[in-house]
Amino acid sequence: MTDDIRNRRVAIVVVFYENAADTIRCIESVRLLEHPTYDMILVNNGSSELESHRVRRWLVENIPSHSLHLVGHSFRHPQRAKSRPLGDVAPAIHLLETGSNSGFAGGCNLGIVYAMDSASPDFVLILNNDALASPTLLGELLRFAEENPRTGVIGATILTYDDSRISSAGSDLNLWAGAWEKRFDLGLAYVSVPKAPRFVDKVEGSCLMVPNAVLDQVGLLDPSYFLYWEDADFCFRVKKAGYEVANIATATVRHKVSASTHMHTGLKQYYMQRNRMFFLRRHASQGQLLLGFPGAVVASIRTLFAIVGESKSISGVLAAFARGWMDGLTAPLASPPALAAYQGDDRLSA
């Protein structure tokens, strides 16, 4: 690792809702990173007092006091946040409390704004709280970023938690077919696939890195998605701004897919169906939207068949599907938030 790469400061934003045990394992993996200059921004996104206490207690018992900042709710006030600048001691961990669940995108935005207001890191890495980072993760991502400065989103290869098969190695989306997703190397053993980087349409939000200049230009994640598709939306916005999106085969994390929201719940299916239509309405042309609509319907039907018989409340899931489609087609679309609009605003969650 060159000195230029070692000196690049990264803010690692980890949003958690419940699942204290997974969050603690994620923190432990981050502490093993070989890259020396990072700060970890933990965003407690409205967890119960029990799960919140478990995380806070573990941090107090395991992180040296000079490296731990229990920021609480004070990050909502910029002057108070700036009194604890990132990088005083590196690496350091900062715990933010939102007080309510602002969704994955909203929680990430709060962490990003806190980091950017405090120290302007060179890069922001979003990492799911149920993911385990490999020790070389940041080095691999930063090396690619240094060699490819026009890449605006750099994603890791996501492996299954237990058997190291590929869960995500980037994907392409066909807007003419209802955002039909071609997922590369899905289900293959990691050891068997080529390790060359790949330019793609999108990478998974469970582990992606963005240069601060891109955040300044493109803005933040769109909190109106709340759950799911916010990563695809962000990647497409970055590509429209003239940057590339890349998946790095040699940078890996192991991820518990849907650890906080299970596949066969009405909650997940509502947001999956609604947000697919949000995505298409924002990024597809009129022709793509017209011709792609049947593809979106087919994708939803395939999902329904996949979960029939496995859900304990199929009627609830069906109702969620219907609400998702209706809201996805009719709800107004707000503009994605700009970073500057969030900075210095007490109302950081949209």
218 lies in the same domain as 319: no
CB atoms within 10 A of CB 51: 17
pLDDT for residue 3 is more than 80: no
| In the chain, % of residues over pLDDT 70 | 87
- Of 187, 190, 185, the closest CA to residue 172 belongs to 185
278 lies in the same domain as 160: no
pLDDT for residue 80 is more than 80: no
Decide if 217 is inside a domain. Answer: yes
114 lies in the same domain as 230: yes
Residue 87 contacts residue 9 (beta carbons within 8 Å):
yes
Decide if 342 is inside a domain. Answer: no
Instruction: Give residue 67's Cα distance to chain centre.
Output: 24
Q: How confident is the model at residue 88 (pLDDT cuts 50, 70, 90)?
A: low
Q: Distance of CA 106 to CAs 101, 120, 124, 225, Å?
A: 8, 19, 15, 9
Tokens of 103: 């969704």
Decide if 347 is inside a domain. Answer: no
217 lies in the same domain as 289: no
Residues 212-268 pLDDT 10s: 999 999 999 999 998 899 999 999 999 999 999 999 999 999 998 654 445 457 788
Q: 230: which residues sit within 8 A by CB, 6+ positions away?
A: 104, 105, 205, 221, 222, 223, 275
Decide if 341 is inside a domain. Answer: no
Cα 105 from Cα 111, distance rounded (Å): 10
Cα 275 from Cα 226, distance rounded (Å): 9
Decide if 17 is inside a domain. Answer: yes
154 lies in the same domain as 175: yes
What is the overall mean pLDDT for the chain? Answer: 87
Q: Using DSSP, state whether 96 is helix, strand or coil.
A: strand
Decide if 335 is inside a domain. Answer: no
Q: Using DSSP, state whether 250 is helix, strand or coil.
A: strand
Tokens of 287: 């022709």
Query: Looking at residues 61-68, what average pLDDT do you find?
Result: 94
Cα 82 from Cα 114, distance rounded (Å): 9
Q: Using DSSP, state whether 330 is helix, strand or coil.
A: helix
What residues make up the domain containing 306? 266-330
What is the Rg, in whole angstroms, of the alpha carbon atoms belonging to the chain?
19
Total tally of structural domains belonging to the chain: 2
Cα 325 from Cα 270, distance rounded (Å): 8
Write down the pLDDT at residue 162.
Answer: 85
Q: 7: which residues sit within 8 A by CB, 6+ positions away?
A: 37
Decide if 229 is inside a domain. Answer: yes
pLDDT for residue 81 is more than 50: no
169 lies in the same domain as 190: yes
Report whether the peptide linkage leading into residue 91 is cis, meaning its omega lies within 30 degrees of zero.
Answer: yes
220 lies in the same domain as 319: no
Write down the pLDDT at residue 321.
Answer: 84
225 lies in the same domain as 314: no
94 lies in the same domain as 226: yes
Pairing of strands 131-133, 207-211: unpaired
Place of tokens 């309510």: 100
Query: Looking at residues 80-97, what average pLDDT do you find?
Result: 66
Task: Please report, for the domain that includes residue 128, its CATH number.
Answer: 3.90.550.10
313 lies in the same domain as 271: yes
Decide if 344 is inside a domain. Answer: no
123 lies in the same domain as 242: yes
**Boundary of a domain, candidates 223, 245, 260:** 260
Cα 105 from Cα 107, distance rounded (Å): 5
Residue 248 contacts residue 154 (beta carbons within 8 Å):
yes
Q: How confident is the model at residue 146 (pLDDT cuts 50, 70, 90)?
A: very high
**Boundary of a domain, candidates 237, 260, 283:** 260
12 lies in the same domain as 159: yes
* Helical H segments across 170-285, by residue range: 212-218, 230-240, 266-283
Residues 278-314 pLDDT 10s: 999 999 999 999 998 888 888 877 777 766 655 556 7
Cα 257 from Cα 254, distance rounded (Å): 9
**Boundary of a domain, candidates 229, 260, 291:** 260
